């Protein structure tokens, strides 16, 4: 059984102007020890998926429909009490921009200790020792546990977040744009760190990002999200070698390759859709070079192309 | 762009804003209450039975008569001991008329004083925040000093010196209120200044004036509106306070002045509740309406419901 | 750590400069006032011009302005704030007679307002959007809009004149009762209505501040992190949200404490409370400039002091300032 199974998840935000359909029927699953990538433009609903899984939506957000099966139990049907037990202990999350994700008036060590003592029955001293070891594991001087967040640089804060996330040995780690706000060198370090930790602890990981190169490096499977829906889903290798959906093709083509021949960068024309009133039929049709009438009126279902490769597109390839 | 098109766009966004504004309960109540008083102020001569500033209205009724409708509760009271909708004051003048005409002073002073303070405060805040450096230091020190000197005492002194006229009251309130607005505007300007589009505008060679008025000011205006509403509320309270102390314009009647006379002529001792209750309630309601409107604006314009991407 | 020292030094210098500027401005404001105080004073009786000149010289009013200024500063340093025209005693005495009354009244009502305000503010923010929140919000806004003198008058009329439960004027009965304990009780009795009045109109400000700050804090990322860690809601609120929300609140409270000295002129008038607020009004009507100048100065000094203390306290409480600087 897969560790996490998301079925037909629909999460909307209620705003003064109506419902924003951030996540509109999303399906995927993550197995044990698997690294799953969720890719797409900013605002396509990726973070909302993550927040839905741990049920921490901001005010105005509501999960309208669907099931999230974790270890064969539906998260969406759990009581507040039960889901709090799962948070961090089983599913931990690292947010993007750790700039503000750590409490500025608490020592870093105390924040990690808090995570541990909430879920496990250990003494404060024991927890503090574990916190120091965790910091060491992510490459930070253990003595710095008594420092405050503002005394760390961006990259180091991200490491602290990762250390904190792994404090209770979770089964699933969700990383939302873990390296986006950092410069390239630090980015590479953080990613390597995460890969090593994942392998060592046999963690399942859900990596959310708009940066396909990160996905190419780290993930086993990828789902491409657009306008609240998943448009393509396959092994990483297959998606990069044979992208089927025009949006995926555009995304991959938009990234230059140092090794490959010089060519013109493909960019996807148009702007991301308004999720208050998404386009009819296939949501990508206003920006797709291959649109026909069917695309404008009928929403494509995810087609199984064989070998675990799914595409939501009307075009026969 | 042609003027009709500009007006169209402007009206559209105004309509949109009104839509959102009137969904807010505080906003609706505030505007409703305020409308009543604005109506009262504009149509005062039509609504009020007498003109309180007219000498002829003195002695219309017996001094300190309670309102006529208390006869419903106590039929034995002789007819000439009661008068009108709200009774009479120490000179036998109709209180209801005074209330109606009093709305004019409160609203006038409130708007004018607040406008002065907001105008000065915004300009100084913009200049100090945008240019920074020595200009900023000097302006802010100046503002700090004004903030440190106790407000009401300073106004008492100024009002007593300059003499009590409507214009002076407006001036006094305006001059003492601009510093807090200036500070708020200034810190907002500092934030907006760092935003990318300002950098781009400068790189594109735009002049300072252009950047200030076309880029920074529009982003600061929402804050200005919220503060303006609260400022008007404070101005009205201050005018009432100064009038209560006897520093009001003797040529006009305001609600604060009514309470001044009430106190002077022992209305408390006589338990003349019809003299004391109405002016205060009116001040409360008008101030409340502006506070509610300000709060509604704050809720709408303040992004407290931030959506995470 | 040196960052913190730098912060303290800067705040101290700033306070001293502001103090000096305030003293100077205070001096000039009252010197350029129209209305010759001496003529007002002597209008009570007819005097020979030479005597008038003598009185002028006594108050140093015949010296050039800059000399008066030096004299003024020198006097301040020895604690001499001038001589009251009207009350005919040193200004410092006039003020000190009334200062304790004001501090008592304002102090108690400020403390009550802060406590009530913080409690209600936290409650409103926690139960955001519910009836509790709306009720607290509406009542805070309503009481904030009350004209203070009016609510004082109403309370006075009801409880003082009509029901007779509370005294209608003054700080203490005349003649004051025998015995220390009885005096305290009498004082409290007189203090009740004005304190209630002041607290009613002030608590709203603190409620709105606390609620607003707390709501802002609750949208921060680290709150989501805290919840994601599986912490119970109460712990998130107290340990994470409040710790951050209290910082600006503490600053605001400290600054308010500085204004305790300025007194509540309007309340003191309604209740005939013998305090500084009412003193300023009376002195103004009597054109007693030395008293005005002295009162303004004392109030300004205490505000500057309070702001200074507020800055220091904030610096201690906020680890970003206390342990400032970026790690490598």
pLDDT-derived band at A266 (thresholds 50, 70, 90) equals low
CA distances from B308 to A157, C220, C245 (A): 20, 10, 21
Between B51 and C106, the more confident residue is C106
Question: Mind listing the pLDDT tens digit for each residue in A99-130?
Answer: 788 888 889 999 999 999 988 889 999 999 99
Between A71 and A265, the more confident residue is A71
Question: Mind listing the pLDDT tens digit for each residue in A9-31?
Answer: 999 988 777 888 888 889 898 98
Mean pLDDT, range B256-268, rounded to an integer? 88
Minimal C-alpha gap between B232 and chain A (Å): 28
Chain C residues with CB inside 8 Å of A48's CB? none
* C202 contacts chain B (CB < 8 A): no
pLDDT-derived band at C112 (thresholds 50, 70, 90) equals very high
| The pLDDT of residue A251 is above 50 | yes
Between B236 and B75, the more confident residue is B236
Kindly state the tokens that stand for C313: 């306290």
8 Å CB contact of C300 and B149: yes
In the prediction, which pLDDT does B85 show? 81
* B295 contacts chain C (CB < 8 A): yes
CA angle A79, A72, A76 (to 5 degrees): 35
Q: Is B87 left (phi over 0), alpha (psi -120 to 50) or beta?
A: left
**Positions of E strands within A60-156:** 61-70, 73-74, 91-94
- Dihedral sign computed on CA atoms, order A178, A181, A187, A189: negative
Task: State how far the Cα of A294 lies from the Cα of C108, in Å rounded to an integer.
Answer: 75
Query: Which of C:105-124 have CB within 8 Å of B?
Result: none
- C-beta of residue B235 within 8 angstroms of C-beta of residue B177: yes
In the prediction, which pLDDT does C327 show? 39
Which three-class secondary structure state does DSSP give residue B68?
Answer: helix
| The pLDDT of residue B305 is above 60 | no
Nearest CA in chain A to B300: A16
Nearest CA in chain A to B309: A43
What percent of chain C is predicted at pLDDT more than 90?
A: 17
Question: Mind listing the pLDDT tens digit for each residue in C286-316?
Answer: 878 888 888 888 888 888 888 888 888 888 8
| The pLDDT of residue A257 is above 70 | no
pLDDT-derived band at A195 (thresholds 50, 70, 90) equals confident
8 Å CB contact of C230 and A88: yes
Chain C residues with CB inside 8 Å of A105's CB? 243-244, 247, 318-319
Between C326 and B273, the more confident residue is B273
| The pLDDT of residue B37 is above 80 | yes
**Mean pLDDT of all residues in chain A?**
86
Q: Residue A31 burial (CB < 10 Å; 0-12/13-18/19+)?
A: middle
Contacts of C115 (CB under 8 A, 6+ apart): none
* C326 contacts chain A (CB < 8 A): yes
8 Å CB contact of B152 and C265: yes
In the prediction, which pLDDT does A40 show? 84
Minimal C-alpha gap between B37 and chain C (Å): 16
- C-beta of residue A152 within 8 angstroms of C-beta of residue A108: yes
- C-beta of residue A191 within 8 angstroms of C-beta of residue A184: no
| The pLDDT of residue B208 is above 90 | no
Question: Mind listing the pLDDT tens digit for each residue in B87-97?
Answer: 888 888 888 88
| The pLDDT of residue B308 is above 50 | no
Mean pLDDT, range C81-92, rounded to an integer? 82
In the prediction, which pLDDT does B200 show? 80
Between C103 and C42, the more confident residue is C103
| The pLDDT of residue B9 is above 70 | no
Between B216 and B114, the more confident residue is B114
Q: A38 has which bridge partners?
A: A208, A223
Taking each helix axis from N to C end, the angle separating C91-126 and C289-317, rounded to the nearest 10 degrees, works out to 40
Nearest to A16 among B20, B306, B309 (CB): B20
| The pLDDT of residue A153 is above 90 | no
* C178 contacts chain A (CB < 8 A): no
**Mean pLDDT of all residues in chain B?**
83
Question: Mind listing the pLDDT tens digit for each residue in C184-234?
Answer: 888 888 889 999 999 999 999 899 999 989 988 888 889 989 999 988 888
In angstroms, what is the C-alpha Rg of chain B? Answer: 24
Chain A residues with CB inside 8 Å of B308's CB? 47, 51, 58
Minimal C-alpha gap between A126 and chain B (Å): 35
Task: State how far the Cα of B96 lies from the Cα of B131, in Å rounded to an integer.
Answer: 52
CA distances from A152 to A93, C169, C322 (A): 20, 61, 15
Nearest CA in chain B to A51: B308
In the prediction, which pLDDT does C52 show? 66
Task: State how far the Cα of C117 lies from the Cα of C107, in Å rounded to an integer.
Answer: 15
* A12 contacts chain C (CB < 8 A): no
pLDDT-derived band at C140 (thresholds 50, 70, 90) equals very high
Task: State how far the Cα of C118 lies from the Cα of C207, in Å rounded to an integer.
Answer: 6
Nearest CA in chain A to B22: A16
HSE-CB for A290 with a 13 A CA cutoff: 11
Question: Mind listing the pLDDT tens digit for each residue in B102-159?
Answer: 999 889 999 999 999 999 999 999 888 888 888 898 898 888 888 888 788 888 888 7
**Nearest one of A189, A222, A188 to A205, comparing CA atoms:** A222
Chain A residues with CB inside 8 Å of C222's CB? 100-104
Phi, psi of A226 (to 5 degrees): -145, 125
Helices (H), chain C: 2-31, 37-42, 49-58, 65-77, 91-126, 131-145, 148-155, 180-218, 221-228, 233-235, 243-258, 265-270, 276-285, 289-317, 319-322
Chain C residues with CB inside 8 Å of A115's CB? 229-230
Between C190 and A97, the more confident residue is C190
**Nearest one of C196, C320, C303 to C259, comparing CA atoms:** C303
* The dihedral formed by the CA atoms of B214, B219, B222 and B228, expressed in degrees to the nearest 10: -60
Nearest to A102 among C222, C231, C247 (CB): C222
| The pLDDT of residue C47 is above 70 | no
For the ranges A70-79, A172-181, B75-84, B93-102, the lowest mean pLDDT is seen at: B75-84
Chain A residues with CB inside 8 Å of C320's CB? 104, 148, 150
Subunits next to B (3 or more Cβ pairs <8 Å) are A, C
Kindly state the tokens that stand for A213: 């190169």
Question: Mind listing the pLDDT tens digit for each residue in C8-33?
Answer: 888 898 888 888 888 888 887 777 66
Nearest to A56 among C228, C240, C326 (CB): C228
What is the pairing mode between strands A204-209 and A35-39?
parallel
**Nearest one of A200, A187, A211, A168 to A39, comparing CA atoms:** A211
Kindly state the tokens that stand for C41: 């004073």
- C-beta of residue B217 within 8 angstroms of C-beta of residue B159: no
CA distances from B35 to B107, B233, B282, C145 (A): 11, 15, 13, 17
Q: C192 has which bridge partners?
A: none
Minimal C-alpha gap between C221 and chain A (Å): 5
Q: Using the 8-state DSSP alphabet, how is residue A209 labeled? A: E
pLDDT-derived band at B268 (thresholds 50, 70, 90) equals confident
In the prediction, which pLDDT does B38 show? 93
Task: State how far the Cα of C199 lies from the Cα of C170, in Å rounded to an integer.
Answer: 19
Which three-class secondary structure state does DSSP give residue A36?
Answer: strand
In the prediction, which pLDDT does A297 show? 84
Kindly state the tokens that stand for B175: 């001059």
| The pLDDT of residue A259 is above 80 | no
Quote the distance between the C-alpha of residue A205 and its chain's center.
9
8 Å CB contact of C225 and A101: yes
In the prediction, which pLDDT does B279 show? 92
**Mean pLDDT of all residues in chain C?**
83
In the prediction, which pLDDT does C210 show? 92
In the prediction, which pLDDT does B95 show? 87
- C-beta of residue A272 within 8 angstroms of C-beta of residue A210: no
Task: State how far the Cα of B174 lies from the Cα of B186, in Å rounded to an integer.
Answer: 18
8 Å CB contact of A58 and B23: no
In the prediction, which pLDDT does A137 show? 87
Phi, psi of C75 (to 5 degrees): -65, -40
Q: Using the 8-state DSSP alphabet, how is residue A29 labeled? A: E
Minimal C-alpha gap between A56 and chain C (Å): 7
8 Å CB contact of A13 and B306: no
Kindly state the tokens that stand for B193: 């200044």
Mean pLDDT, range C110-125, rounded to an integer? 93
8 Å CB contact of A104 and C224: no
């Amino acid at each position: 059984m897969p560790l996490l199974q998301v079925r037909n998840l629909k999460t909307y935000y209620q705003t003064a102007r109506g419902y924003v359909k951030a996540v509109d029927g999303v399906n995927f699953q993550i197995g044990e020890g698997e690294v799953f990538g969720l890719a797409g433009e900013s605002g396509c609903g990726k973070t909302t998926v993550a927040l839905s899984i741990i049920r921490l939506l901001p005010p105005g957000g509501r999960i309208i429909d669907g099931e999230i099966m974790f270890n064969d139990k539906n998260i969406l049907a759990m009581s507040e009490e039960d889901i709090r037990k799962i948070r961090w202990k089983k599913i931990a999350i690292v947010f993007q921009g750790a700039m503000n994700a750590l409490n500025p008036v608490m020592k870093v060590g105390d924040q990690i200790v808090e995570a541990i003592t909430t879920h496990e029955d250990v003494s404060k001293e024991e927890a503090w020792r574990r916190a120091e070891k965790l910091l060491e594991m992510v490459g930070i001087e253990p003595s710095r546990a008594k420092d405050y967040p503002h005394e760390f640089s961006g990259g180091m804060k991200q490491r602290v977040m990762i250390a904190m996330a792994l404090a209770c040995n979770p089964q699933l780690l969700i990383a939302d744009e873990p390296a986006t706000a950092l410069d390239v060198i630090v980015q590479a370090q953080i990613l390597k760190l995460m890969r090593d930790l994942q392998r060592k602890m046999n963690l399942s990981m859900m990596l959310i990002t708009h940066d396909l190169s990160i996905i190419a490096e780290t993930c086993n499977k990828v789902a491409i999200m657009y306008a609240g829906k998943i448009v393509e889903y396959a092994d990483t290798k297959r998606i990069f070698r044979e992208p089927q959906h025009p949006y995926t093709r555009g995304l991959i083509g938009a990234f230059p390759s140092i090794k490959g021949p010089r060519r013109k960068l493909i960019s996807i024309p148009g702007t991301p859709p308004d999720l208050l009133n998404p386009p009819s039929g296939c949501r990508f049709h206003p920006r797709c070079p291959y649109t026909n009438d069917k695309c404008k009126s009928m929403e494509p279902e995810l087609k199984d192309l064989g070998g675990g490769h799914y595409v939501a597109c009307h075009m026969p390839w | 762009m042609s003027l009709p098109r500009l007006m169209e766009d402007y009206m559209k966004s105004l309509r949109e804003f009104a839509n959102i504004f009137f969904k807010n309960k505080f906003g609706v109540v505030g505007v409703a209450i305020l409308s009543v008083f604005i109506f009262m102020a504009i149509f005062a001569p039509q609504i009020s039975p007498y003109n309180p500033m007219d000498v002829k209205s003195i002695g219309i009724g017996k001094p300190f008569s309670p309102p006529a409708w208390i006869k419903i509760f106590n039929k034995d009271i002789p007819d000439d001991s009661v008068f009108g909708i709200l009774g009479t004051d120490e000179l036998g003048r109709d209180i209801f008329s005074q209330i109606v005409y009093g709305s004019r002073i409160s609203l006038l002073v409130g708007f004018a004083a607040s406008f002065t303070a907001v105008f000065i405060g915004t300009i100084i805040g913009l200049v100090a925040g945008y240019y920074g450096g020595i200009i900023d230091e000097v302006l802010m020190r100046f503002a700090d000093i004004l903030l440190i000197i106790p407000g009401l005492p300073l106004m008492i002194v100024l009002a007593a010196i300059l003499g009590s006229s409507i214009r002076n009251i407006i001036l006094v309130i305006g001059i003492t209120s601009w510093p807090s607005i200036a500070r708020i505007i200034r810190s907002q300007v500092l934030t907006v200044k760092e935003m990318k589009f300002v950098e781009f505008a400068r790189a594109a060679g735009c002049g300072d004036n252009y950047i200030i008025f076309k880029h920074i000011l529009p982003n600061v205006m929402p804050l200005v509106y919220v503060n303006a509403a609260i400022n008007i509320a404070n101005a009205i309270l201050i005018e009432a306070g100064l009038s209560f102390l006897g520093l009001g314009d003797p040529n006009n009647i305001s609600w604060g002045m009514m309470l001044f006379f009430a106190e002077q002529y022992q209305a408390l001792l006589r338990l003349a509740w019809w003299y004391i209750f109405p002016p205060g309630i009116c001040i409360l309601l008008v101030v409340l309406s502006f506070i509610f409107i300000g709060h509604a604006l704050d809720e709408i314009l303040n992004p407290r419901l931030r959506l995470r991407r | 750590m040196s960052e913190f020292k730098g912060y303290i030094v800067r705040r101290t210098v700033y306070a001293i400069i502001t103090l000096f500027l305030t003293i100077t401005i205070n001096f000039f404001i009252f010197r350029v006032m129209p209305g010759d105080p001496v003529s007002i004073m002597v209008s009570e009786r007819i005097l020979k011009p030479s005597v008038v000149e003598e009185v002028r010289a006594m108050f140093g009013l015949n010296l050039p302005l800059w000399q008066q200024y030096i004299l003024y500063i020198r006097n301040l340093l020895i604690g001499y704030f001038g001589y009251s025209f009207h009350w005919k005693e040193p200004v410092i005495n006039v003020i000190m007679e009334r200062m304790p009354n004001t501090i008592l009244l304002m102090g108690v009502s400020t403390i009550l307002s802060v406590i009530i305000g913080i409690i209600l503010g936290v409650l409103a923010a926690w139960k955001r959007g519910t009836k509790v929140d709306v009720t607290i919000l509406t009542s805070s806004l309503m009481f904030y809009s009350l004209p203070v003198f009016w609510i004082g008058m109403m309370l006075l009329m009801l409880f003082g004149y009509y029901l007779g439960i509370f005294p209608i004027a003054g700080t203490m009965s005349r003649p004051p009762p025998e015995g220390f304990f009885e005096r305290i009780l009498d004082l409290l009795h007189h203090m009740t209505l004005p304190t209630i009045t002041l607290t009613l109109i002030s608590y709203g400000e603190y409620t709105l501040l606390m609620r607003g700050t707390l709501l802002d804090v609750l949208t921060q990322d680290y709150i989501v992190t805290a919840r994601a860690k599986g912490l119970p809601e109460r712990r998130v609120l107290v340990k994470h949200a409040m710790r951050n929300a209290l910082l600006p609140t503490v600053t605001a409270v400290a600054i308010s404490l500085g204004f305790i000295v300025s007194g509540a002129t309007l309340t003191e008038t309604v209740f005939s409370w013998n305090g500084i607020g009412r003193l300023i009004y009376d002195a103004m009507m009597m054109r007693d400039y030395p008293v005005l100048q002295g009162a303004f100065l004392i109030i300004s000094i205490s505000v500057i002091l309070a702001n200074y203390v507020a800055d220091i306290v904030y610096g201690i409480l906020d680890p970003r300032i206390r342990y400032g600087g970026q790690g490598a």
